[in-house]
Structure 1
Amino acid sequence: MDPITFPELVTRVTKADASFYGYTPNFAACVAFLVLFSLSTTVHLIQALIYRRNTWWLIVTAVLAGILEILGWSARLWSHKNPGLAAPYEMQLTCTILAPTPLLAANFSSLRSGFKDAAFRHLIERLGPAYSRLSPKWYTALFCSCDIISLVVQAVGGGSAATGVARGTDVETGGHIMLGGIAFQLVVITVYAACATEFFARYFTDRPVSARTPQRGVFTNKLKILSASLAFSTLCLFVRAVYRTIELADGWRGKIIQTEVYFNVLDAIMVVLSLYTFNLVHPGPLLKNSDPDTLPKEEEKTGSLYA
């Protein structure tokens, strides 16, 4: 009799025999997260279409992140009945590791400026670019570029690792690549948070980076809400990145990666909170320059900052 190859074996096993996860994905959790991500993604798409002139970037960030999570959790639901099947495991591994990356880009886009429409400006340009270590446009050029690099590295590593696990071949190379990508993302989030923190600290203490007299905008209630939402969303993604870094460093057969509750709480819930934050505190209506108090103090008469 010919020997059974690993791929043939995993298609024959039952729930009790083997699982790529080290556990069988919980049915209720899979359904719950699938519903949560589906609702949020649908609302994000509707909101992006309503404010499409100025928040089109949420389609390629928040909506894309939601779609990836839906695919990932659909695969985990599939794995509930077939935990030893390779295809859904590969799918969920790749999708869930990549999903938060475009969502992180939504945070970067909300902090920088760049909309051509004079009715919309982002936080830094509204409050005063002189208080920022980086120019508003550099937030997009630098952080979004780093985000794309992180996405590519994680995609390459995730695909390699998923294939290796499914075929019973080398997974260490793919795992190390994934670890490098997620660790790089963690560094990017940290630097981003540090730059944002310095900006707000300088704004509140009126200490511009340059000696030039700054154009100081009004920190309206709308901008306060938006700033708080960005901070909360970034914190959630930071927690998730820390978890994923520790998880991958612990190894494919480590306790962390084989404990479902860690994944559900420190990955899925963190992404849910970040996605719903953008649903509830949508940048579209908050950044509308329709109220007089949204103009900077020094520019209320001339409006030159928005010319």
Structure 2
Amino acid sequence: MHLQELKATKYTPVSPYGYTPDAWVGILFVVLFALSTICHLVQAIHSRLWWLIFTVVLAGIMELIGHGARLWSSYNIHINTPYLIQIVTTILAPTPLVAASFVMLGQVIHRLGQQYSRLSAKWYTIVFVTCDVIALIIQALGGASADAAVNQDKSAKPGGNTMLGGIIFQSIAITFYIVLATEFVLRYLYDKPIGGRPNVKTGYALDFKTKQMLCALAFSSLCIYVRSWYRTVELANGWQGHIIRTQRYFVVMDALMIVFAMWIMNICHPGRLLGPAPEWKFSQHGAGANATRTSEESSQHGDTEKQ
């Protein structure tokens, strides 16, 4: 009998997590992400800001799948499939959410004045969204490699290192984004255009709604930034490291951070604070035309004075 117990213990599979995910934690985050994602879908349709479906809503769906997989694991810890699903989805999910932040800040720059930003609103969106897509591709390739390795009973470390590279790249991009966004806001507040650029008026001002949008972007970006560096340290510590095998670190530093980042955008939705799709188009074309007209009028006025 004693020998049978030893054999049973010897051949009992070990949890790939290093712990058993709590079912109540899985249920909690499935509910939180489901509610936020549904709200974002309704808000995107109502405001006709369709790009939100491919960014924030997509992020919510991926988080929902990931935490659903963790809930699955809480009932059967020895199946590899949900473990691999949650690794890939929870690492990739915040990437489209970051892209949404880049687009929103670009819109704010359009409205408050591109002379205060080192990059134009158009290039700001192009550069940082491109960086986000590159980070997504690198992480996806790493996740696929790790998944294939585990299924073939090989080491997932090479795939993990690739994912780590993608997260580090994304963290660096977010760092530059935060620095440039902070500089833009400070230059606007102190009315300090960059490099002698003409101080043109766009017809928009830093009203209460725009302030709310900037505060929401700052809070959301901070949450995502904390989560990115947590994931960096986690993967650098290794698949068998203490960090990745401790549930509370993941819950607080990853899941909770992304919940905050998504819910703040429900509360401070760009469709409510910056207006629906027609207002976004007007700010990009109408406001830009007004700014050009103001610049031309200033130039003409200067020529008249010289004459």
On whether the aligned pair clears a TM of 0.5, the verdict is: yes
- Equivalent position of 2:23 in the other structure: 27
Answer yes or no: is 1:245 the counterpart of 2:225: no
Whether the 8 Å contact between 1:129 and 1:135 is mirrored in structure 2 is yes
Q: 1:62 corresponds to which residue?
A: 56
- CA offset digits 1:29-51 (Å, max 9, x no partner): 00000000000000000000001
Instruction: Tell me if 1:100 matches 2:87.
Output: no
The ranges of structure 1 where at least 4 consecutive aligned residues each deviate by more than 4 angstroms after the TM superposition are 302-307
TM-aligned CA deviation for residue 162 of structure 1: 2.9
Distance 1:156 1:220 in 2: 43
- Structure 1 residue identity aligned to 2:226: V
Q: CA deviation at 1:213?
A: 2.9
From 156, 165, 185, the equivalent of 1:200 is: 185
Q: CA RMSD in A?
A: 2.5
Match of 1:83 in 2: 77
Q: Which of 214, 217, 220 is equivalent to 2:207?
A: 220
- Other-structure match for 1:8: none
Q: Distance in 2 between matches of 1:13 and 1:85?
A: 18
More helix by share: 2
Counterparts in 2 of 1:269-284, with a 5 A limit?
Answer: 269-284=256-271
Contact preservation (8 Å) 1:93, 1:162: no
Structure 1: runs of 5 or more not aligned? 1-11, 113-121, 290-294
What is aligned with 2:126?
141
Distance 1:65 1:153 in 2: 17
Q: In structure 2, how many angstroms separate the alpha carbons of the residues matched to 1:286 and 1:153?
A: 34
Partner of residue 174 from structure 2, selected from 184, 189, 202: 189
Partner of 1:115: none
Q: Name the structure 2 match of 1:262.
A: 249
Residue 206 of structure 1 aligns with an amino acid whose one-letter code is D
TM-score computed with the length of structure 2 as normaliser:
0.85
Q: Deviation at 1:13?
A: 9.8
Task: State how far apart, in whole Å, the 1-side matches of 2:219 and 2:74 are.
Answer: 32
Instruction: For residues 41-93 of structure 1, give each alpha carbon's deviation from its aligned partner in whole angstroms, at most 9, with x where no partner exists.
Output: 000000000011xx211100000000001111111111111111111111111
Aligned mates of 1:288, 1:76 — CA distance in 2: 37
* Amino acid in structure 1 at the alignment position of 2:35: L
**Distance (whole Å) between structure 2 residues aligned to residue 218 and residue 13 of structure 1:** 68
Q: How far is the alpha carbon of 1:142 from its aligned partner?
A: 0.4
Shift of 1:129: 0.5
Amino acid at match of 2:105: L
- What's the counterpart of residue 42 of structure 1? 38
Distance in 1, matches of 2:67 and 2:144, equals 17
Is there any run of 5+ residues in structure 2 with no aligned partner, and where?
1-7, 277-281, 295-307
Same amino acid, percent of matched pairs: 48
Which is worse superposed, 200-209 or 234-243? 200-209
Q: CA deviation at 1:163?
A: 3.1
- The TM-score, its normalising length taken from structure 1, stands at 0.85
Task: Identify the residue that residue 221 of structure 2 maps to in structure 1.
Answer: 234
Q: Which whole-Å deviations, capped at 9, do the CAs of 1:242-288 have from their partners, x for residues lacking one? A: 00000000000000000000001100000000000110000012113
